[in-house]
Structure 1
C-alpha cells in the first residue's frame, strides 16, 4: 500500500525539515523526487544521500516567489517525464502581533507562504490537465484553524493555504486533480532546536519541555509522521480524498478547545 512507483513529484523546500522527510519518504516509496530549494549546497547534499539510499532525486534552484523561476523549472522537468505530484512545503515563519508586524514583514510572508504556493499551483495545473490528473498537497498549519499567539502574519498565511486548497479542489475535481492540505502542530525539526538555542540559551531543556506539552499528547510530532501522511495522500490509495485539510497535531486543535 501507499506505493509511488513511477510517480514524479516536486517538493518545494524539500531539503530541510518536514520537506526533507517528505522527499526521502517519496523516494523510498518509488517516486522520482524533484527538490525545489534556494540553498543548492544543501539540496545537492540531500539529493545525493537519497540517491545513495537507492532513490531517485534531482534538485533545482527555485525561488517560489518568482513565477518565472517556477514555470521555467516545471517546463524543464516535464520535457523528460510527466509530473504527477506537487507538494507545496516551502514557507517561512514570523513572530509578532498585528501591531509589531511591519508592512515589509507581511509582504515577505505573502511572497513565499501565499504567492509561492499560488505560483506553483498556477504553473502545474495546465500540465496536470493535459496529463489526465495529478495530486497537490499543501502544507498548512494548526494556525489556520485556531490561530497562535504572536503569529499574526504566519497564521493568516496558513489560513489562506487552507482556503486555497478547498478552492483548487473544487475547481479541478472534474479534471482528476486532487488537492488536500496537511496541518501540523509543532514538529521537532532543526529549526525548532535552533530557535530555542538562539532565544533561550540558558534554559533550552525547560523551553523544549514547555513547547512539547503544548500538544495534549505530550510531545512534538516527528517529521516522519507528517511525511507518512503525505505519502498516503499522494498515493493512489487516497484516490477518494480531495478538498480536505488533515490535522496531524497531537490533539492540539480539538483537545485544547474548552
Structure 2
C-alpha cells in the first residue's frame, strides 16, 4: 500500500507503551482464554517430520519458543514420545497451563518462563545442545528493533547442524488487510500492528526473516509462502491467509 494511503500511526507514547507492556497483555490473554483459543498443532509433525524423528539410540532435544499452553508440545510427544522438549513462554500463565496439562511428564517436558529478548536461553538450556528449535507464530510478537536479539538467543542453544523451524505471519495476509482497513488506530509502523487486546503482530517478508537468520549463522534450507483460504459462512466472508514457513540450519 502506498505510504500516503496507510492508516494513521499510533503516536510514540502509545507505540512504546504497547511494546513495553507486551508481557502483561499476553498474561491477560491467557487469563481470559485459558487453553481454549489455539488448536493443537498436529500438522507440525506431518510437515517437518525429518526435524523431529528420532534415530535409533539417538534421542533428540527440541526447544519450542513461545510455547503458549502446549498446543505443539503435547501433539508432538504423541508422535515422538521419547523427545526431550524444552519449552518457554514469557507469559507465566501460559507456562502454568503447560505444567497442568494431563499429559505433562517432568522427565520429557521442561517448561520455563523466559523473554527471549531479555533473558539468555542458556540460563535454562545447555549451550549448543538443541537439535531443533520451533518458532511458530511467536517472533511476530516481538517488535522490529528487538527481533535480531531473539534470533541470536535462539542460535546460541542450537547445535552446529541443528535446525530452526519457523512459521509466522506474512505480508499479504488477510489479518494485515484487516488492520489496514480498520477505523481504530492500530499501526505502530507499516509492518507492525496492535490488536484490540494489546498484543503486537509483525508481518514478515522473505527478505527480512532470511536476513535475520543469516546474521546469526543460520543457513537457509527452505522458505516459502503457505496460502490458505478460510471461509466464514456465518459472515459470508472468504479470508486469504498467508504465512511464511521456513527451515534454517546452524552452520557453526
Provide TM-score, normalisation by structure 2. 0.50
Tell me how far 1:59 sits from its aligned partner: 1.5
Residue in 2 aligned with 1:45?
97
Tell me how far 1:132 sits from its aligned partner: 1.9
Please state if 1:27 is matched with 2:77.
Answer: yes
CA distance in 2, matches of 1:42, 1:172: 28
Residue in 1 aligned with 2:196?
none
Alignment of 1:6-155 (within 5 A): 6-16=59-69, 20-28=70-78, 29=80, 30-49=82-101, 51-52=103-104, 56-64=108-116, 67-69=117-119, 71=120, 73-78=121-126, 82-89=129-136, 91=138, 112-115=142-145, 117-128=147-158, 131-141=159-169, 143-145=170-172, 148-152=176-180, 153=187
Q: Report which of the two has the higher share of helix.
A: 1
CA distance in 2, matches of 1:8, 1:183: 27
CA distance in 2, matches of 1:85, 1:186: 29
Residue in 1 aligned with 2:53?
4
**Number of equivalences:** 177
After superposition, give the CA deviation of every residue in 1:225-258 in whole Å (9 maximum; x if it has no partner): x9xxx8xx7xxxxxxx659xxxxxxxxxxxxxxx
Tell me how far 1:184 sits from its aligned partner: 6.5
Please state if 1:163 is matched with 2:163.
Answer: no
CA distance in 2, matches of 1:177, 1:123: 18
CA distance in 1, matches of 2:145, 2:63: 17
Q: Report which of the two has the higher share of strand.
A: 2
Provide TM-score, normalisation by structure 1. 0.49
Tell me how far 1:14 sits from its aligned partner: 1.0
Q: Report the CA distance shift for 1:47/1:116 in structure 2 as closer, same or farther (over 3 A).
A: farther
Q: Report the CA distance shift for 1:26/1:47 in structure 2 as closer, same or farther (over 3 A).
A: farther
Tell me how far 1:161 sits from its aligned partner: 5.8
CA distance in 1, matches of 2:53, 2:100: 20
Is the 1:27–1:55 Cα contact (8 Å) retained in structure 2?
no
Q: For structure 1, which runs of at least 5 residues remain unmatched after alignment?
A: 93-108, 189-203, 234-240, 244-258
Is the 1:135–1:178 Cα contact (8 Å) retained in structure 2?
no
Tell me how far 1:122 sits from its aligned partner: 0.7
